[in-house]
Structure 1
Amino acid sequence: MARPHAAALVEDAYTERKARLLERRGWVTRIVPSTGYGSATQIRVFGRVVMTRGLPEDEPTEPTYAARLRALETETRGWRAFFATPVADEPVTVRVNERLVQARTDRGGYLDLTVRGHGLTPGWHQVFLDSPRAEPIDVPVLVVGSQVTHGIISDIDDTVLSTSLPRPMIAAWNTFVRSEGARRPVPGMATMYRDLLESRPEAPVVYLSTGAWNTAPQLTRFLERNGYPVGPMLLTDWGPTNTGWFRSGQEHKRAQLHRLARELPNVRWLLVGDDGQHDPTLYSEFASRRPDRVRGIALRELTAGEQVLSHAIPVATDDIAPTPSARLEVPVLRGPDGYALGPRLAEVWDDVVGGQTLGEYASAVVTGGLEDPPDYTVEDPDER
């Protein structure tokens, strides 16, 4: 086994020393839950164990639910989330019905556990996480039935949440200082998702982002507050890894797309992102390799100003370096927001494109039978 990267060794030593110091000062451990998902055969459970302040002596032994919510809000807001002290190699027990599964957190305090043979029916369930030094906590898990054929994979930054990434100063302000209550949703995206789910309420919505796991609690609150469907978030861990200073966000997204395709083989996904970074390339690459797993691609178009602030030039990244691949077998739609994308996206969601089924459309693309393919670029309503 290769020796861990020097940066990871330094970070691990610092984290361990800090955890011991906080424990001597009376801090305890707490489990931070995150929504999981799964199929009829297996589920994926997420959580994290971090250090938290112990109760003052004059506080009741069992704090009220409201008090615990206020404490969680304070500890996970802005910069505090990035300075939480993880507890590595901490034993965690996962209880699914009457079954108990033992696991341990990784070097970042995270738990990403696959439980097979869970015996849960399709729909939402609660599993329980317990640790010797922390209070047990329940975690929501969505089990996707084998008959489900529709699903949405959605990016977060600049797709459902206006973050203006990767502008360093503004991104840092949005992430480290502002609370999620002060951040702006992208117009119409929540409405678009809710409208699509009206006809397919069983369809899962998975939020896939290169954002840090540290922000999961505040992102969850943001999505709930702005009317987005509930769903698992697949984020990443910022900072040093065993192979380098930082992990690759693109590789994270690429790996998660293929993992979802393997774990939920009957679902054809609607891939939703934006054209400010790598979503067009990653989504078209995935659709080229797995057209049987993709229903369509929807890209939110950033304005020229947003493009300049994102990567210094006023055009989308895929206009600069388009993906060198054959014509995609799936429709690609573009629009400035959810209000523009929604009406045309409904056709793709209902398996109909320009009067053809998706299968007929794909066949026509492959054989060159589309003499005049339909235009799926949605214009800005204000410019019509």
Structure 2
Amino acid sequence: MATPTPHPSQRPHLAAVVEDHLYAAAGWTLSRLGWRPRLEAYTGYGTPERVRVLARVLLAPRGHTGPDRDLLRAGRRGFRHYLTVPAPHQRVRVQVGATTSDVASDRAGYVDVEVPTDEPLAAGAHRVTLTCPDVAEPVVGEATVVVLDESTRFGVISDMDDTTMVTAVPRPLLAAWNTFVRHSSSRRAVPGMAELYRTLGEAHPDAAFFYLSTGAWNTAGTLRAFLERNGYPAGPLLLTDWGPTLTGWFRSGPAHKDASLELLMSWFPHVRWLLVGDDGQHDPEIYDRAARRRPGRVRAVAIRELTGGQQVLAGNAPTGGGDPERDADAPVPTVTGRDGAELARRLAEVPGLL
């Protein structure tokens, strides 16, 4: 989603060419079998003057062309979320209030579009109507956009894997097992994290919550169900596509997080953020870059520490709790802890947070 357009002289990567041909062949075959486009809508965000709408157009059998049904499929095994065929270059009509725009899905079927509003939107959740007008049978979907106005002064941007849920993403074999084999509904919450987020929401009634992950959009319904089931505050998911790009075999997780953080901070200059992640991958470095790139915009950073065994399996040397040199040089208050309760105790020492 939102893959940069390559330079005119740049040829698409071989992996992207192969993927496009496979999707084209699968799409042609399924269309001959009567499959039709369906809309899978995600939660976007925006300001009173403009919103970012997120969705995907996929092929589905007749009778299954309605709105997003991921929540109904949250209990199936992980690999089944990836058995999808996109409908690329499909015209999609986006209606936000009285504003209507026609856009096209990208090569992987994604719609990621900024829509200006004719009339300012009030803060809160708004429905967006999506339509595929070129399909014989009506295809309509509803997305949601969360609008933040200047009254919102505090927000939380949280990683998901091993921050909100125990997925062992840094450990390749277990990550593959969790993603492709285990039932999605069997994922466990990190102890105390939901309680911490609810406490933050009570301390800051206007707080906005965003969940940033390198996970694929294919699992959006599962992740939404997990957050709701475990009592996390609602908020948009910021995920990524799964598969090759126009420039390489795989997408860069750190680049996705860097770009998402920068986009949120550019859209909402009035918000100061608490950034929450874990030390199993690159969250400390990513959050440090964001705080230095946007001085005064990050209120604090909270990092969940993995155990020594998890660190070793992740390819890291066991730290024994925090990095004193990094913490001393941090541009904003930075706390660490093994779970939500420990992070809450340490965040309480940061003035104005809890």
Same fold by TM-score, threshold 0.5 exceeded?
yes
Residue 15 of structure 2: aligned partner: 7
Q: 1:75 to 1:197 in 2, by over 3 A?
A: closer
Tell me the secondary structure at the aligned position of residue 107 of structure 1: coil
User: Aligned AA for 2:265?
Assistant: A
User: Aligned AA for 1:16?
Assistant: A
1:25-104 to 2 correspondences below 5 Å: 25-55=33-63, 69=69, 72-73=72-73, 77-104=77-104
Q: 1:279 to 1:13 in 2, by over 3 A?
A: same
Question: How much does 1:349 deviate?
Answer: 6.8
Residue among 147, 151, 157 paired with 1:147: 151
Preserved CA contact (<8 Å) 1:160 1:190 = yes
Residue 273 of structure 1: aligned partner: 277
Residue 115 of structure 1: aligned partner: 115
User: Aligned AA for 2:79?
Assistant: W
Q: CA RMSD in A?
A: 2.5
Question: How much does 1:55 deviate?
Answer: 2.9
* Separation in structure 1 between the aligned mates of residue 287 and residue 320 of structure 2, nearest angstrom: 15
Tell me the secondary structure at the aligned position of residue 228 of structure 1: coil
Number of aligned residue pairs: give it.
342
* Separation in structure 2 between the aligned mates of residue 23 and residue 42 of structure 1, nearest angstrom: 35
Residue among 17, 21, 43 paired with 2:25: 17
1:288-367 to 2 correspondences below 5 Å: 288-311=292-315, 313-315=317-319, 319=323, 327-348=329-350, 350=352
Structure 1 moving runs of 4+ over 4 Å: 68-72, 74-77, 316-320
* Separation in structure 2 between the aligned mates of residue 303 and residue 75 of structure 1, nearest angstrom: 29
Residue among 197, 203, 208 paired with 1:204: 208
Question: How much does 1:186 deviate?
Answer: 0.3
Residue 381 of structure 1: aligned partner: none
1:229-308 to 2 correspondences below 5 Å: 229-308=233-312
Report which of the two has the higher share of helix: 1
Preserved CA contact (<8 Å) 1:35 1:233 = yes
Tell me the secondary structure at the aligned position of residue 219 of structure 2: helix
* TM-score (structure 1 length as normaliser): 0.83
* TM-score (structure 2 length as normaliser): 0.90
Q: Which has the larger radius of gyration?
A: 1
* Separation in structure 2 between the aligned mates of residue 5 and residue 69 of structure 1, nearest angstrom: 33
Q: 1:70 to 1:121 in 2, by over 3 A?
A: closer
* Separation in structure 1 between the aligned mates of residue 25 and residue 300 of structure 2, nearest angstrom: 49
Deviation by residue 1:304-325 (Cα, 9 ceiling, x = unmatched)? 12112222532389859x76x9
User: Aligned AA for 1:250?
Assistant: P
Higher RCO (C-alpha under 8 Å, 6+ residues apart): 2
Deviation by residue 1:95-136 (Cα, 9 ceiling, x = unmatched)? 111221111111111111111135211111111111133631
Q: 1:349 to 1:170 in 2, by over 3 A?
A: farther
Residue 5 of structure 2: aligned partner: none
